Chains A and B, each alone.
Chain A
Amino acid sequence: MSRPAALVLVVAAGLAVVAPFWLKPFGVYQLSMWAVLTIAAIGLNLTLGYAGQVSLAQGAFVGIGAYTVALLTLAGCPFALAFVAAGTLCFVIGWVLGYPALRVQHHYLAFVTLAFTTLVFLVLRNEEWLTGGTYGINGILRPSFFGFSTAKPVSFYFFCLSVLTVLSLATWWMLRSPWGRAFLALRENPIRAASLGLDTRRYTLMAFAIGSSLGGLSGALYAPLVQFIEPGSFALGLSFNVLLMVIVGGSGYFLGPFVGALVAVLLPEWMRVAQGYYLIIYAALVMVLMALCPSGILGLVERAANALSGTRKATPALDPKGVEP
């Protein structure tokens, strides 16, 4: 990582720590939402940005995670256990959902995962005996650890931020291990990867399962954050929103989800002054960004940094010494 980039990262991390102290409760809530949804976006970035498997099901996994935690904690199960259960359940379901990805790719896979999201929504709405149907689930408690309660907005925010930090570090570790390289190979050229001994089937399923599991863990924080969940929150809209975070932030960039989630959570609030027009402006901004820089905001930043540094290396491919033995 370059020096300026490291500096920006440190400043951003510092801001994330001090910001809640001068924000109003609603601001802290928004910031917590950012941390929670970033986790879901990290998961999708893994599946889509790194391993190249399109998924429109991340919202459904957030929902599964949220309902798991809500139901378990209200039944008296400790939060930590419910949290792990949400991640594990989504890992298993994600693994199974990965099977279609072994047969179909791209927009066909998008449709398979879209159907899954709809299915999950219908189950959450119709199985009233379990989920409470359209009435949702009320009064979800925020956890306490060793007598330290996270009920207050600021303490819950720091709880979310810690979970985000731990999960990002774990993901970062995985991506720099040979697994990360294998995921990229899966995205770039699965046939060549298989010819080099990569078990593409196992890595594809793993990418789906881990990505979905992060979705579930995000949901496990979402439920105690909002304290009231209902099926509508986890319909297609959320899946598209998480997809938007990944794409806008920069798909395949490690920090893309952080930026994307920030934009997706804050921009609509900032543009509330524009009232009814805000969705139109938001949509237009996204379209312009995609047209100018399909690699998202971080792609744009990278391009700008390259242009500014001015000390770009001569392309080695054009170096005459490169060709001859």
Chain B
Amino acid sequence: MTAVLQVSGLRKAFGGITAVDGVSFEVREGEILGIIGPNGSGKSTLFNCVLGQLLPSSGEIRVDGRRTTGMRPCDLNRLGVSRTFQLLQVFPQLTVRDNLILAGQEHQGTMWSRLCGRADAGLGEAVDRMIAFFNLSHLAAEPAGNLSYGQQKLLDVALAFMAGPRLVLLDEPAGGVNPTMLAHLRERLQAYHAERKATFVVIEHQMEFVMALCTRVLVLAEGRIIAEGSPHDVRCDPIVIEAYLGH
């Protein structure tokens, strides 16, 4: 299998603190990789480096073999790398529909064609399908800010999927979501994964969610990878248990 994402020797230091310390891993096509670790272990910094939000101190990132270190988030996204954020990030005053059109419109045409072309950028049908996929059809014309937290979370994920990305990085998708909604979200993620053969990387605290969703898990502690394997193996690894519970 080919690697969609290759991270090698990634290091990020903030002054004297090294948040990510020489991390290397690969994400293979079609897998759902979980990244877990205690608070402050460098998961989010790792994500932000991969996604161009932060410039790594050293190391290299490749997407489909192409070097992307230091690339701007918008250019990375147009290469097919999409993400969700730890905290909700939708556009509250835009309707659900407009949120989704926005998520797709920059992936086609030029600045000029977007000015002169159709208001929905020709994405009407694709948006309807995505809205239906996440059971949000009855809310399509509603400003996103009027949705419940769980519905906004679904919309957030839908935004990340809208442009048909090659790789999706999900930052704590289960955070603050109630169990019913969480089961629904997981089921939708799995359905999308099965349908599109998409590749996911998931940062998550909620162990059950990770166990149920991920095919492989990396464990990060103090900026380093301390364990890797199937969800079950990782859970039983004494090093992992120690990292979580302390010395």
Contacts and interface: CB of A to CB of B under 8 A. Distances in A.
Interface of A: 174, 176-179, 181-182, 184-185, 188-189, 191-200, 202, 206, 315-319, 321-325
Interface in B29-44: none
A188 B106 contact: no
Task: Classify chain B's interface size.
Answer: 35 or more
Interface centre among A192, A198, A206 (most CB of B within 10 A): A192
B150 A323 contact: yes
28 contacts: A177-B116, A178-B101, A178-B105, A178-B115, A178-B121, A179-B115, A181-B98, A182-B114, A185-B91, A191-B89, A192-B90, A195-B82, A195-B83, A195-B89, A196-B102, A196-B106, A196-B159, A197-B74, A197-B77, A197-B106, A198-B74, A198-B102, A200-B74, A206-B111, A317-B151, A322-B138, A322-B147, A323-B148
Given A178-B121, A192-B91, A316 B138 contact: yes
Interface string B123-167: 000000000000100110010001110110000000100110000
Given A196-B106, A317-B147, A323-B180, A177 B94 contact: no
B151 A322 contact: yes
A177 B93 contact: no
B92 interface: yes
Contacts of A194: 72-74, 77
B119 interface: yes
B148 A317 contact: yes
A185 B102 contact: yes
Contact of A181 (B78, B102, B181): B102
A177 B150 CA distance: 30
B138 A321 contact: yes
Interface in B180-227: 180-181, 184, 187
Nearest to A202: B111
A302 to B, nearest CB: 13
Contacts of A318: 148
A12 to B, nearest CB: 25
Interface in B50-85: 51, 53, 72-74, 77-78, 82-83, 85
A184 B94 contact: yes
B139 A322 contact: yes
B101 A181 contact: yes
B103 interface: yes
B189 to A, nearest CB: 13
B114 A178 contact: yes
B73 A177 contact: no
A178 B94 contact: no
A198 B75 CA distance: 8
Contacts of B93: 184, 188
**5 nearest A-B pairs in the assembled complex, by CB-CB distance:** A197-B106, A197-B77, A192-B89, A178-B114, A194-B73
A177 B116 CA distance: 7
A181 to B, nearest CB: 5
Contact of A322 (B77, B116, B148): B148
Nearest to A175: B119
A55 B150 CA distance: 37
Contacts of B119: 176-178
Contacts of A177: 114-117, 119
Nearest to A188: B91
Contacts of B162: 196
A195 B51 contact: yes
Nearest to B94: A184
A202 B110 CA distance: 12
A1 to B, nearest CB: 15
A94 B1 CA distance: 50
B168 to A, nearest CB: 11
B105 to A, nearest CB: 4
